[in-house]
Structure 1
Amino acid sequence: MSTKGEKSSTITVGETSISVEVKEIPIETLRYYSSNPRIFSILKHFGDKVSQEQIQSELWKLDSTKDLFHDILNNGGLVEEILVRGVEVLEGNSRLCAYRHLLKKAKEKGNQDAIDRWSRIRAKMLPPDVSEEAVFAILGILHIRGKAKWLPYEQACYLWRQSREFRKTYKDLADQIGASKVTEADVKNSIEAYTMMEKSRITDPNKFSYFFEYVKSRKIKEAAESLPPDQELDRLFVGWVDNEEIPKAENVRDLPLILHDKKARQTFLQKKGSFEDALEIAKDRHPEAKSSFYNKLKKATEALENAEEMRIKEEIEKDTGKKHILKNLCKTVNQFCRAVGLEVPQANAKKKRQSP
């Protein structure tokens, strides 16, 4: 492979520094890296055997690749070098695709200056013995911590493969990503959502957010207990998403409300109405679901119903502050009920009516 050397630099992975050389390389010698998480997620429907021509065709279908084509043409070349190991383009496959289309157009026009310009591409050359594990770590640094971030689905694909192929733990991956807001739970949820999509053979990246909302929700898991014994929520959910019965990913958060209410649940499960219809039924029957005021009242009521009365009685006898809180609550509730026209039951009157 004929190259023009320019300069050397290093890439740091963990505690290891990897030397790289920046060179200009003839583009016809390079190959697309099918294991790149972005390409891997795009080409999954082709199976294990995918040709270089198929990769190029799929990459060129992307608007982002066509945007790169115009950016590179307007800038007269690359702003950022591609990353190469041997002849494989580990990072920068879309840029290589754009270059190849620029070269094709230059040849069609017979423009020798343009042919010379687009026939070679600047690349950072990794040593040929760099491991796949190190390559994946580098890609993660570039696309999760770096500026050129992957889509959530592509990130999840990356984490899933790291976990499966290199036996990385959730903690390993969270530490490797290094972003302060990324927790082990985030990594776990991403991998579980991607795994669920894999098992269901759903490959649309836009559906990932539905599955992420689903796996991270504790309330949804609790709501599964409301289903009939012969119905399994995971299987139902896959069908709902695949058939686009849930309007938006954020609506997944409303599933517990629908599933907990019998009428709303039957409306949705038995196809008597849409997701929106079922949600409206659930909200009408549970005002606390759409009003923070009634939600707080319901929680306060549940707290009182579940309180240990004898323990509370002993506490307020010893603690005047706690006693004051309860007395103030009682007074406020009575005043509020009278103000809105609710009759307040009188405890003493009730006792008198019950007396023989």
Structure 2
Amino acid sequence: MLNKISEQGSVILRGEEIATRTLDIDVRKLKFYVDNPRIYSFMRADGVQPTQSDILAKLQTLEHVRELVQDIRVNGGLIDPLIVRDGDFVVLEGNSRLAAYHHLFVESPVQWSKVRCTLLPADIDEKSVFALLAQYHVKGKKDWAPYEKAGFIYRRFKNQKVDIPAIANEIGLTKDEAKHLVAVYEFMIEHGDGDRDRWSYYDEFLKSRKIRKVRQEVAGFDDFIVSEIQAGHFGKAMELRDKLPVICTANTKIVRRYMDGTYAFAEAHEAAITAGGENHVLNKLMRFKKWLVEASTEDDILDAPKQIRDRIQYELKEIEKKSRKYKELIEARKNDIDPQ
């Protein structure tokens, strides 16, 4: 039943003022929002529609819900009302708190039978609902996990056809940040991985420019790394972040030996270090040499105007002098042993 006493109010969503009323509602009348990003990431990634009982059972296993039970009990109720859609009484914001209230209701039905709610109009549109959730969880203090945030943005982009710059502006992210979140989430979908706990691995994998180069040049690399992530061969995501780019900047043979199983991840990383895969001085020299020996470089030099060719000749002489000096210094130290 609804409490007869209600408080009138309003909220601003997408630039429009929407009338609300706040009152106490029987906890048993309230429903979980199946498209809530947290619920979606736990329960709907496989496309199956969960029941209300399924959602309640899952939420009550979460540590933060158990903590909410204690907080609500100590405070004697909610500090902030649940945000509820009138008519069907779906809880748009506050699903974890609703799960905590269900736990308390089982303990003491009389004390915890009603929960404070702010009702939004029954006909509120889905875009306004997403704007509301963005206010709370992307711009606000209540944080979703990155996987949940990415899923929220992805569905806004794909299902509601809102372009990335508009979404980014709505939720206070840069266009590139929002684009990256969508790309990682889409990559996980394409590779059949809905495990929210593996988000950070894919995030690091798609973030690195050094890794991106190998992804573009080596066929099957994406699928191979996905299988490594799913098999748990990286340990923590920071291992992928710190070591895979080193492997990717080494000789391509090392990458292929890693992919064909000749090297395990740790062995490939060690081989890449030995080959200079993480030495910035060597990498710079290798890039310069690669440019120098390209067939087009000779044509570019010879086709340049005389004034430019004269300057190129001067620079090459300077490079030659410095190169000779560095070769002599290295030769003098070739028998030195590296300090341990």
**C-alpha contact 2:301 2:309 (8 A) present in aligned 1:** no
Tell me which residue corresponds to 2:128: 134
**C-alpha contact 1:5 1:21 (8 A) present in aligned 2:** no
The alpha carbon displacement at 1:152 in A equals: 0.6
**Match among 224, 247, 250 for residue 236 of structure 1:** 224
In structure 1, C-alpha distance between the alignment counterparts of 2:226 and 2:332, rounded to whole Å: 46
In structure 2, C-alpha distance between the alignment counterparts of 1:162 and 1:18, rounded to whole Å: 21
**Match among 193, 199, 202 for residue 202 of structure 1:** 193
In structure 2, C-alpha distance between the alignment counterparts of 1:303 and 1:45, rounded to whole Å: 47
The alpha carbon displacement at 1:240 in A equals: 1.8
Q: TM-score, normalised by structure 2?
A: 0.83
Q: Secondary structure at the match of 1:64?
A: helix
Q: Give, as a single letter, the amino acid of the residue that structure 2 aligns with 1:176.
A: E
The alpha carbon displacement at 1:267 in A equals: 3.3
Tell me which residue corresponds to 2:279: 291
Q: How does 1:9-48 map to 2 (within 5 A)?
A: 9-44=9-44, 47-48=47-48
In structure 2, C-alpha distance between the alignment counterparts of 1:263 and 1:327, rounded to whole Å: 34
Tell me which residue corresponds to 2:211: 220
**C-alpha contact 1:263 1:281 (8 A) present in aligned 2:** no
Q: What are the superposed Cα offsets for residues 172-209 of structure 1, whole Å, 9 maximum, x if unpaired?
A: 21111123xx22x3222222221222233322112112
| Higher mean C-alpha displacement, 121-130 vs 73-82 | 73-82
2:151 corresponds to 1:157: yes
Q: Give, as a single letter, the amino acid of the residue that structure 1 aligns with 2:283.
A: N
Q: Secondary structure at the match of 1:43?
A: helix
Q: What are the superposed Cα offsets for residues 229-259 of structure 1, whole Å, 9 maximum, x if unpaired?
A: xx53333232222112233334445445535
Q: What are the superposed Cα offsets for residues 43-94 of structure 1, whole Å, 9 maximum, x if unpaired?
A: 1267433211110000011111111111112222222221100210011011
Q: Secondary structure at the match of 1:90?
A: strand
**C-alpha contact 2:36 2:92 (8 A) present in aligned 1:** yes
**C-alpha contact 2:81 2:117 (8 A) present in aligned 1:** yes
In structure 2, C-alpha distance between the alignment counterparts of 1:147 and 1:164, rounded to whole Å: 26
**Match among 177, 181, 187 for residue 171 of structure 2:** 177
Tell me which residue corresponds to 1:270: 260
Q: Give, as a single letter, the amino acid of the residue that structure 2 aligns with 1:206.
A: D
User: Mind listing any 5+ residue stretches in structure 1 that lack a counterpart?
Assistant: 108-114, 344-356
Q: What are the superposed Cα offsets for residues 114-162 of structure 1, whole Å, 9 maximum, x if unpaired?
A: x33x221111211111011210121012111111111110011101111
**Match among 134, 140, 165 for residue 146 of structure 1:** 140
Q: How does 1:249-328 map to 2 (within 5 A)?
A: 249-253=237-241, 254-255=243-244, 257-258=246-247, 261-285=251-275, 287=276, 289-302=277-290, 308-310=300-302, 311=304, 314-315=307-308
Tell me which residue corresponds to 1:105: 107
In structure 1, C-alpha distance between the alignment counterparts of 2:331 and 2:151, rounded to whole Å: 58
| Higher mean C-alpha displacement, 245-254 vs 86-95 | 245-254
Tell me which residue corresponds to 1:168: 162
Larger radius of gyration: 1
In structure 2, C-alpha distance between the alignment counterparts of 1:64 and 1:329, rounded to whole Å: 62
| Higher mean C-alpha displacement, 121-130 vs 252-261 | 252-261
User: Mind listing any 5+ residue stretches in structure 2 that lack a counterpart?
Assistant: 334-340
Q: Secondary structure at the match of 2:18?
A: strand
In structure 2, C-alpha distance between the alignment counterparts of 1:201 and 1:317, rounded to whole Å: 58
Q: What are the superposed Cα offsets for residues 281-326 of structure 1, whole Å, 9 maximum, x if unpaired?
A: 12211x1x3233433444455566676545497348579xx96x87
Q: Give, as a single letter, the amino acid of the residue that structure 2 aligns with 1:279.
A: H
Q: Per the alignment, do residues 155 and 273 of structure 1 end up closer, same or farther by CA in structure 2, a change over 3 Å counting?
A: same
Q: Give, as a single letter, the amino acid of the residue that structure 1 aligns with 2:55.
A: I
In structure 1, C-alpha distance between the alignment counterparts of 2:213 and 2:269, rounded to whole Å: 18
In structure 2, C-alpha distance between the alignment counterparts of 1:292 and 1:337, rounded to whole Å: 18
Q: Give, as a single letter, the amino acid of the residue that structure 2 aligns with 1:265.
A: V
**C-alpha contact 2:30 2:91 (8 A) present in aligned 1:** yes
Count of residues paired in the alignment: 324
Tell me which residue corresponds to 2:92: 90
- Indicate the percent of aligned positions where both proteins have the same amino acid: 29
Q: Give, as a single letter, the amino acid of the residue that structure 1 aligns with 2:54.
A: Q
Q: Give, as a single letter, the amino acid of the residue that structure 2 aligns with 1:123.
A: C
Q: Give, as a single letter, the amino acid of the residue that structure 1 aligns with 2:226.
A: V
In structure 2, C-alpha distance between the alignment counterparts of 1:37 and 1:244, rounded to whole Å: 26
